[in-house]
Each structure stands twice: as structure tokens, then as C-alpha cells.
């Protein structure tokens, strides 16, 4: 699939959308967004540049009057977000230029940036950049936005469907390093969102000045074995401590997501201070709320076979 941004002729619009895509999942202070994102200082809700037929971005504020809903994530990292159209005199008015701009984007498959204000104790007004989305439809009350998947060049699976799990990537193609880096970042962000920014084993999730620290997205089927980086179900969110032990096959979840610890006396002695032994035989305590986002059985079996072969 050709990158949809290649069809955008205006270089400034293209650059802005690329920035919003690249910063998928990051939290940015409003002051900085005002310097980087066109129209952010002057416009709330839907922003349509003066000489454009399409909306460039939408944003939701914590004190907004519109009943917007939280994004709903899918295994491919895409998300569905219902965004309220703008109103006049308290009523939805689809003739407003801003609403028309989103409808034209829907017809022509032009993406729009999405930002949501977040509550942080240590930062001034900040927004999470959800990335780019396409308007799938207008349901009479909301614009239904569908976010790009981890692999933004692939069409996201429709909202009502769950894509089959493909555990392995195809033979690697020649790919620019920055493309691979961006995709890995998007995989990490999607896994982090699915696990509510806490380690799935110890439930630790550090925050410093609004940033989440010490957490990493672990591949269940390793990248070195061609494990997929485009599906949340091949990932688990771990603190660095438990990620290192996972990569060294000191522990693994079984098919029922119960913790197995290697039968190695030296390790078990050294791990007395680690909560990993407390969870042996028990199910991982922090898993995605939606079963569709939890580790795929095929990936767990692959990891379990590797664990058992090294015991």
C-alpha cells in the first residue's frame, strides 16, 4: 500500500501530518504544541487551515462540552475514537466549515491528526498525540475516527473485526532504518497503552514529570526469530528488570498466562529479593482489559517450547 501522505500536495500540511504520525503516543505540553502545530494557539476542537478543504487536526480538552469517548484499541495498534462534531447555538450543525472539512476527508481518505488533553500533576496543560486517523463514518452523533495501525502503510482492520494473528514476519525487505525505528516505537506505544503503562508481572509503572519510565515492550516471539512487531498480541509490557530475565529465559508465562520460573538453584537463590518467585504458578497480575489484546496462544506456545528446551 502506498503511504497516503504521498498524495498530499501541500508540503506544509504533509510535514504537519508526518509530525503528528511520528509523535504517536507521546505527551507534549501545550506550549510546545503551540510552536509546532499550526493553528493550535488559536483554534480548539476541529482545525481547518484557511486555504484547505480538509481538517488538519482535532483535539479534545478535559473541560470540553462535547461527549467524546476514550479510544478503543485493536491488536494491530489502530484505535477507534468517536469525536463530536461542532455545534452552533447548542445544536450540531453539519454545515459548519469544520464539520464539512472532516466529511470531505472521509470521502477522499485524507488523514487528520488527533490530540487529547491529559491530566498530569507535574506538567501544565499537556496533550497526548494519538497520531493520524481516518474518518470512517458519521453516525449521527459522532465522527467515527479510525487510527493508523502500527504499520501505518497497512489498512487497519475494521472496527468490528479482529484480525487473525500472524506470529512471524515475512522475509525482511530492504527498509530504511528510520522506518524500522518508527515502527518499533509504535509497537512499544501500542503495547504500553494495552497494559495501562504498568509491568504485567510486578505492576510497576514509574512516572517522572509526566513521563513513564522503566517500562519496555517485550516481544514474546523474539525479533531475532522473525516475531511480528505489528501486533500487540506478540508483546507484553515489562519493567526493565523483568524484561532482562524474560529475554534470558529465566521465566515465561504458560498458555494460561501463569508464571513459570526456571529450575536453576543459583538463579532462584539470587532472585529471593525479586517478586518473580512470589508469582510462580500464578497468572500474570496485569493484563489488557480486552481479551482480544492479550498474548496470543501461538506466541505463548512458541516461548514455552523455548523455555522447556533450556531447562
Q: How many helices (H) does the chain have, and how many strands (E)?
A: 7, 16
> What is the DSSP pairing of strand 87-88 with strand 91-92?
antiparallel
Give percent above pLDDT 70 in the chain: 94
User: Computed over its alpha carbons, how large is the radius of gyration of the chain?
Assistant: 21
Does CATH number 2.30.280.20 belong to domain 4-147?
A: yes
Q: What is the pLDDT of residues 86-123, one digit of tens each?
A: 999 889 999 999 999 999 999 999 999 999 998 766 55
* Residue 283 clears pLDDT 90, i.e. is over it: yes
- Largest Cα–Cα separation, the chain: 72
Q: What is the pLDDT of residues 130-168, one digit of tens each?
A: 999 999 999 999 999 999 999 988 778 777 778 899 999
Q: Quick one: average pLDDT of 196-202?
A: 96
**80 bridge partner residues:** 72, 146
Which pLDDT score, from 0 to 100, does residue 2 have?
75
Distance CA 182, CA 204 (A): 26
pTM of full prediction above 0.75:
yes
* CA distances in angstroms from 218 to 193, 243, 277, listed in the order given: 14, 7, 20
SS3 164: coil
Domain positions in the chain: 4-147, 177-309
Which pLDDT score, from 0 to 100, does residue 69 have?
75
**Of 158, 70, 57, nearest in space to 111 by CA:** 57
**Of 143, 146, 123, 140, nearest in space to 45 by CA:** 143
More confident residue, 30 or 211: 30
In the structure grid, which three cell numbers stand for residue 262, read together? Answer: 526456571
In the structure grid, which three cell numbers stand for residue 86, read together? Answer: 461542532
Q: What is the pLDDT of residues 220-254, one digit of tens each?
A: 999 999 999 999 999 999 999 999 999 999 999 99
Q: What is the pLDDT of residues 34-67, one digit of tens each?
A: 999 999 998 889 999 998 999 999 999 887 666 5
Amino acid at each position: 500500500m502506498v503511504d497516503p501522505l504521498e498524495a498530499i500536495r501541500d508540503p506544509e500540511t504533509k510535514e504537519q501530518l508526518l509530525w503528528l504520525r511520528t509523535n504517536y503516543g507521546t505527551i507534549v505540553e501545550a506550549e510546545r504544541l503551540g510552536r509546532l502545530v499550526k493553528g493550535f494557539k488559536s483554534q480548539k476542537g476541529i482545525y481547518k487551515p484557511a486555504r484547505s478543504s480538509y481538517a488538519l487536526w482535532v483535539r479534545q480538552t478535559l473541560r470540553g462540552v462535547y461527549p467524546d469517548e476514550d479510544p478503543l484499541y485493536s491488536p494491530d495498534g489502530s484505535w477507534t475514537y468517536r469525536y463530536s462534531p461542532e455545534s452552533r447555538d447548542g445544536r450540531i450543525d453539519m454545515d459548519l466549515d469544520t464539520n464539512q472539512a472532516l466529511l470531505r476527508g472521509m470521502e477522499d481518505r485524507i488523514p487528520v491528526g488527533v490530540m487529547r488533553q491529559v491530566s498530569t500533576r507535574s506538567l501544565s496543560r499537556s496533550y497526548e498525540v494519538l497520531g493520524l486517523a481516518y474518518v470512517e463514518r458519521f453516525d449521527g452523533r459522532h465522527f467515527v475516527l479510525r487510527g493508523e495501525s502500527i504499520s501505518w502503510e497497512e489498512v487497519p482492520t475494521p472496527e468490528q473485526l479482529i484480525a487473525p494473528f500472524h506470529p512471524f514476519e515475512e522475509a525482511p525487505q530492504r527498509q530504511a532504518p528510520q522506518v524500522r525505528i518508527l515502527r518499533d516505537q509504535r509497537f512499544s506505544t501500542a503495547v504500553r497503552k494495552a497494559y495501562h503503562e504498568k509491568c504485567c508481572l510486578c505492576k510497576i509503572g514509574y512516572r517522572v514529570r509526566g513521563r513513564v519510565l522503566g517500562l519496555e515492550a517485550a516481544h514474546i516471539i523474539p525479533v531475532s526469530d522473525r516475531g511480528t512487531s505489528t501486533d500487540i498480541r506478540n508483546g507484553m509490557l515489562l519493567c526493565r528488570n523483568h524484561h532482562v530475565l524474560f529475554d534470558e529465559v529465566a521465566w515465561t508465562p504458560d498458555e494460561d498466562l501463569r508464571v513459570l520460573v526456571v529450575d536453576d538453584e543459583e538463579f532462584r537463590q539470587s532472585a529471593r529479593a525479586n517478586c518473580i518467585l512470589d508469582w510462580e504458578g500464578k497468572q500474570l497480575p496485569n493484563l489488557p482489559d480486552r481479551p482480544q489484546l492479550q498474548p496470543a496462544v501461538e506466541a505463548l506456545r512458541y516461548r514455552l517450547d523455548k523455555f522447556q528446551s533450556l531447562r
